[in-house]
Structure 1
Amino acid sequence: MSTSKRMQLVIPFLTVLMMLFFHSAEQEKEVSEGETTLKEKIDHVLENEVLHGAVAGVSIRHAESGEVVYEKNAHLRLTPASNTKLFTGAAALETLGPAYTFTTELWTDGEIEDGRLNGNLYLKGKGDPTLLEKDLRAMVSFLQEKGVREITGDVLVDDTWYDNIRLSDGIQWSEESEYYAAQVSALTVSPDDDYDAGTVLITVSPANKEGQPANVKVTPDNEYVKIVNRTTTGKTETEEELMIERDHGTNTIIIEGAMDIDDPVSNSWIAVFEPTGLVDELFHQSLVKEGIRVKGSSTKIAETPEHATRLYEHASMPLKELFIPFMKLSNNGHAEVLVKEMGRVVHGEGSWEKGLDVVEAEMRRLGVNMDTVQLNDGSGMSATNFIPAHEISQLLFQVQQREWFSVFRHSLPVAGNEERFEGGTLRERMQETGAEGNVRAKTGTLTGVSSLSGYVTTKDGEPLIFAMVFNHFLAEDVDEIEDQLAIILSEHVLSVKE
C-alpha cells in the first residue's frame, strides 16, 4: 500500500480520535462544573455572617446508593435538638411496631353484685399519651352498663408501669410549666387532639365590660389546678401581655396582664404538677356525675395487686397514627413516653435509662455508629445529646429498607403544606419554591441550636438525603439558612458523576 493511501486512512482515524477526545473532555468539564456548582452554592450559604463563630455540620448523600454527595463538619458531634426524635421514632417502630397500642385499664380485687362493686377499683395506666377526658367517661359508662351504683372499697390510680421520675435531664426548672416540658407519667391525660399529655388548656377572653377581669376557661374542667386571675379588660397606658405560669412545685396557675375588649381569644397549654393526680380528679368527677357512690377513698395512688381481675381495657390509636402528631408537631412528651415504653417492653423497666439502652441497641442494628453518639433523652430537649450529621443521614439511609419506612417517612413534616397535620413544623416554610411539597424533614430547635434532616428529590428526579445541624449561633434562628440549603437541593440538576 502506498504512503498516500496510508495517510488517507490515518487522517480520518485521527480526526475521529480527536473528536472523541474533545467530546470526552467537554463532558468531564461539564461534570466538574456541576460538582463545583453544587459545592459552591452550599459553601456560599454556609458563609453567611450569622454562622460566624458558630458550627455547621452538613451531610448529604444519594438516597439510593448512600454515596456522600457533600459534607462539611459531618463527623463533629453536635447537639441535634428535636432531630433526636428521628432516632427515638425509628427505634420505636423497630421495637414496638406500627400497630402497637397503649392501654388504660380498670381492675378490681372484688366482685360486682346487686349494683355494688364489693372491693377496690383500680385505674391502671400504661403510658397512653392520647388518653382524653371522654375516654375516662367511657370507662365510667362501662361500670354503669355493668350495673355498678356503689363501690364499697377505694378507687385507686396506678401509674407504676413507669418509674416515678417525671422529667428528663433536658428540662430546666424554669420550663416546668411549659407544655413542651410536661411531666411524664404512665397515667396521664390530654386536653385535646394535639395530645399534649400532662397539660391543661387555658383559654382567656376579654370580659364584656372594661375594668373587669378577663374570662378564663380550663380544659378539661377540673379542681386539680387553681387559677389566680389577675387580668383586666380594657386599654392600658402600657402594653401588658398576658402571662400564664404555674408556680414552682404546685398546681397554682397565675394569669396576669391586660386584654383589650376586642382582643381575640388566647389559648395556652400549661403543664400540670403530677399529672396522675389530674387523671384521678377527672375520673372521680365522672363517677360523681354518673351517680356512682364511692364509700372508700378516691384519692389514693397504689399498685394494682396481682390477684386483681381486669374489667375493662381502653386501647390508644396505633403507633402509626400517633406518629402524625408526634413527628409533625414535634411532641416532646410522645418521644419520652416511647423511650420509657421501650424500656418497659424490652427490659421490664419503664425508665429513661433502660429505654435509651434499647434506642442505642436498635441504632447499632440499623448501622449507626453509636460510638460517636450520646443520647440523654428521647425528645432532644437535652443540650448534652450529641449526634454527628453523618450519623443522622446514615440513619435516614438505612431505615429506607425497613417494612415500616412508609410510616416513618409519612410522619415527617412537608415543606410549605399549610395543613397542620401534613406540613407540621414546616407548614409555613419554603413556600413557592422547588422544596414546597418536596422536602420531608424533621426540624429541631433549642437556644443556639437548629437542625433540619430528611428527604428531597432534585430537579432531575434524583432522591437525596440531607442532615444539617447548627450549633452556637447567636441569632434568633437560622431557619432561613436551612431553607436555602433545602431549596438548593430541590432545584439542583444532579450531574451523572454525582
Structure 2
Amino acid sequence: MRAWLFSVAFVLAGCASVPAPMPDPVRAALDKAGLPADSLGFVLQPLDGSRPVLRQRADDAMAPASTMKLVTATVALDKLGINHRGRTELLAAAAPVDGIIEGQLILRGGADPDLDWPALWWLLRQLRESGVREIRGGLLVDRSLFSPARLDVGLPPFDEAPEFDYNVIPDALHLNGSLLDFELQATATGVAARTLPALPGLAVDAGAMTLSARACKDWDEDWKSAVVQPVAQGLALKLQGAFPAGCRQRAPLQIVDRQWLATHMVRQFWTELGGTLGPTDAEGVAPVGAVVLATHRGRPLAEVLRGVMKRSDNALTRLVYLQLGAQVAQSGEDTRAASERVVRQWLAAHAVDASPLVLDNGSGLSRSERVSPALLAGVLRAGQQGAQAPELLATLPIAGVDGTLSRRLKDGPATARARLKTGTLRDAVGLAGFVPDASGKPWVFVALINHPEAARKGRPVLDALVNWVAEQR
C-alpha cells in the first residue's frame, strides 16, 4: 500500500497528466465491464489534504451528467442563500372596488418550486375571501422573471420522450411543474385513460393504444408521443403506443401546453369558488404599479435542494440555475447567460479552474455540458469550506439508503456513510461527493466515465472505486 501511494506521489510530482496507477478492484471492474481504462476520470483525496491527490484525466473536459447539479447547488446556496424563496403573486392594475377587478387578473411567476394545484387554489381562495367576486378583464400570465419568458418554445427535444417530467424546461411560473396527471388502466379490450383533475374542454382518447405483455413497471417502454389537436371546445388528445395488460398507472406528463393548462385551471378553480372571470387570456408583463392581492411562497432553498439533489430533479435544478441569473441580469439579457456569468465568477473567486467548463442549463441533462473531475473536486472543497457546508452535505444521497443511491452500494464499506451525487446519461455516468475512509476521514470523491456503453456498464466500476476509498486507512 505504501509503495502504491509513493508511486502516485512520484507521478503527481513529475507530470500531473500521466494517469495514476489504478486500484486493483477498479481495474478488475473495468475489465469485467469491457470498458477501457481511459474512459474513467477521477480525483480522490482526503478533505484535509493529508494524502496526495490521486487523479486520472483530472483536467479533461468530460460529460458530467447529473453530477453537474453539484455546481448549481453549491453556487446557489452561497449566492442566493439558504432562505431564498420563490413566490407566486396575484395582482391587478388597480385595487378592486366593491369586489370587482375592472381589468385583468395577473398571475405572476417568481420561480416558486411549490406551486402545485392546491397552492394555486389557495391563492385564488385568498382572493375570493378578500371580497373579490368578479374579474372583468380575463387572465394575464406573467412569466417575465426570466428572459426569454418561454425557454421551451422552439427548443428541440432532448430525447424521444419529451412528455416525461425529467424533460420539462421550466419558466418563472412552473405551475404544477407544467405537468398534468394521467391515469392509464388496461381493460379487457384496450386502455382507458383520464386526467386528474378532469378539465372541461380536454378530451382524452386512448382508443389507439394496444395491450402488451410487459411488466407494469416497464409501462413506458412502448409509449409513443401523443397527438394534440385543437377542437371547437378545447383540446383533443390521442394517446398512442402500447400499455401492459392488467396494469394501472398514474403518470405526470407534459402533453398539454402550459399556457392552456394554467388559464383553464385558474378558470375552473375560480368558478368553483363562486367567482366570475371575463374572456380573453394572454401572456405578458404586469404593468408598473400593479397591486399585489395574494401571495404564495415556496420553501426555503435549502429545503428545496434536499429533494432536488436526492431525486436528481432536472426541472427544479434548471429553475434554481435561472434564479442565479435573474438576480443580476441586465435589461434584455438572456437569463442563461447571466447565470453562467454568476457561476464563472464564483469559481474564479474560489480559485477553481473553469477552463474545462461548458454550461447549458446547470442540470447535466445536456449533450453539451462539460466539467473536469478537478473542477468538481474544487467545487466540493470550496463548498465544504463555506458557511453552507452542512446544508450542501444534507442534499446528497446516502449510499444504500435514500435518493438515487437507495439501490446502490447497499452492502459494503461505504453503505450509509458515503454521500454522493449520481449522474447518468446514455454515454456518461458519474459519482461525486464525500466518502469516509475506514478511519472516518472524509475524502473528496469525483469519478466520471465517458463511453458509449457508460450507462449500461459503468456503475459497477464507480461503485468499486467508492468501496476502495471506504476501505483505506
- Could you tell me the TM-score, scaled by structure 1's length? 0.82
% identical aligned pairs? 22
2:198 is aligned with 1:221: yes
CA distance in 2 between counterparts of 1:35 and 1:228 reads 68
Q: CA deviation at 1:230?
A: 2.7
CA distance in 2 between counterparts of 1:32 and 1:38 reads 13
- Structure 1 partner of 2:413: 434
Check 1:52–1:305 CA distance in 2 against 1; reply closer, same or farther (3 A cut).
Answer: same
Unaligned 5+ segments in structure 2 are: 8-20
* CA deviations over 1:14-57 (Å, ceiling 9, x no partner): xxxxxxxxxxxxxxxx7336767984444444444521386110
The correspondence for 2:252, drawn from 255, 265, 269, is: 269
Q: Is the 8 A contact 2:33 2:457 kept in 1?
A: no
Check 1:33–1:125 CA distance in 2 against 1; reply closer, same or farther (3 A cut).
Answer: closer
* CA deviations over 1:247-273 (Å, ceiling 9, x no partner): 48998451432443xx34223332245
Q: Is the 8 A contact 1:214 1:259 kept in 2?
A: no
Check 1:242–1:32 CA distance in 2 against 1; reply closer, same or farther (3 A cut).
Answer: closer
Q: Is the 8 A contact 2:210 2:241 kept in 1?
A: no
Q: CA deviation at 1:127?
A: 1.6
Check 1:127–1:273 CA distance in 2 against 1; reply closer, same or farther (3 A cut).
Answer: farther
Q: CA deviation at 1:323?
A: 0.6
Q: CA deviation at 1:366?
A: 2.4
Between 37-46 and 476-485, the greater mean CA deviation after superposition: 37-46
Q: Is the 8 A contact 1:159 1:276 kept in 2?
A: no
Q: In structure 2, give the amino acid aligned to 1:404.
A: Q
- Structure 1 partner of 2:242: 257
CA distance in 1 between counterparts of 2:255 and 2:62 reads 32
- Structure 1 partner of 2:308: 326
CA distance in 2 between counterparts of 1:275 and 1:324 reads 26
Report how many aligned residue pairs link the two structures. Answer: 447
The correspondence for 2:429, drawn from 434, 438, 450, is: 450
Q: Is the 8 A contact 2:427 2:451 kept in 1?
A: yes
* CA deviations over 1:84-143 (Å, ceiling 9, x no partner): 111111111111111000010011113323332233211111122321111111111112
The correspondence for 1:343, drawn from 318, 322, 325, is: 325
2:120 is aligned with 1:120: no
Check 1:487–1:314 CA distance in 2 against 1; reply closer, same or farther (3 A cut).
Answer: same
2:282 is aligned with 1:300: yes
- Could you tell me the TM-score, scaled by structure 2's length? 0.86
The correspondence for 2:267, drawn from 263, 274, 284, is: 284
The correspondence for 2:373, drawn from 385, 389, 396, is: 389
- Structure 1 partner of 2:17: none
Check 1:264–1:460 CA distance in 2 against 1; reply closer, same or farther (3 A cut).
Answer: same
Q: Residues 98-109 of structure 1 correspond to what in structure 2 (within 5 A)?
A: 98-109=82-93
CA distance in 1 between counterparts of 2:386 and 2:126 reads 40
CA distance in 2 between counterparts of 1:364 and 1:66 reads 25
* CA deviations over 1:423-475 (Å, ceiling 9, x no partner): 11100001121111111101111111111111011112221111011112426
CA distance in 1 between counterparts of 2:201 and 2:347 reads 41
Secondary structure in 1 aligned to 2:271?
A: helix
Q: CA deviation at 1:170?
A: 8.6
Secondary structure in 1 aligned to 2:292?
A: strand
Q: Is the 8 A contact 2:102 2:135 kept in 1?
A: yes
The correspondence for 1:188, drawn from 170, 174, 182, is: 174
Q: In structure 2, give the amino acid aligned to 1:290.
A: L
Q: Residues 449-488 of structure 1 correspond to what in structure 2 (within 5 A)?
A: 449-474=428-453, 476-488=456-468
Q: CA deviation at 1:203?
A: 2.2
Q: Is the 8 A contact 1:122 1:158 kept in 2?
A: yes
Check 1:64–1:369 CA distance in 2 against 1; reply closer, same or farther (3 A cut).
Answer: same
The correspondence for 1:316, drawn from 285, 291, 298, is: 298
Q: Is the 8 A contact 1:133 1:220 kept in 2?
A: no
Check 1:395–1:259 CA distance in 2 against 1; reply closer, same or farther (3 A cut).
Answer: closer
Secondary structure in 1 aligned to 2:106?
A: strand
- Structure 2 partner of 1:399: 383
The correspondence for 2:42, drawn from 51, 55, 58, is: 58
- Structure 1 partner of 2:158: 172
Larger radius of gyration: 1
Q: Is the 8 A contact 1:374 1:387 kept in 2?
A: yes
* CA deviations over 1:196-234 (Å, ceiling 9, x no partner): x12222221233xx22x4332323433576533036787
Q: Is the 8 A contact 2:435 2:470 kept in 1?
A: yes
CA distance in 1 between counterparts of 2:157 and 2:378 reads 28
- Structure 2 partner of 1:243: 223
CA distance in 2 between counterparts of 1:317 and 1:40 reads 46
Check 1:58–1:340 CA distance in 2 against 1; reply closer, same or farther (3 A cut).
Answer: same
CA distance in 1 between counterparts of 2:453 and 2:210 reads 37
Q: Is the 8 A contact 1:356 1:375 kept in 2?
A: yes
Q: Is the 8 A contact 2:103 2:138 kept in 1?
A: yes
Q: CA deviation at 1:381?
A: 1.5
Q: In structure 2, give the amino acid aligned to 1:219.
A: L
- Structure 1 partner of 2:128: 144
Between 287-296 and 431-440, the greater mean CA deviation after superposition: 287-296
Q: In structure 2, give the amino acid aligned to 1:490.
A: A
CA distance in 2 between counterparts of 1:42 and 1:283 reads 55
The correspondence for 1:135, drawn from 106, 119, 133, is: 119
Q: In structure 2, give the amino acid aligned to 1:412.
A: L
CA distance in 2 between counterparts of 1:53 and 1:226 reads 54
Give the superposed CA RMSD.
2.9
* CA deviations over 1:257-302 (Å, ceiling 9, x no partner): 2443xx34223332245423322221111111112112342x2222
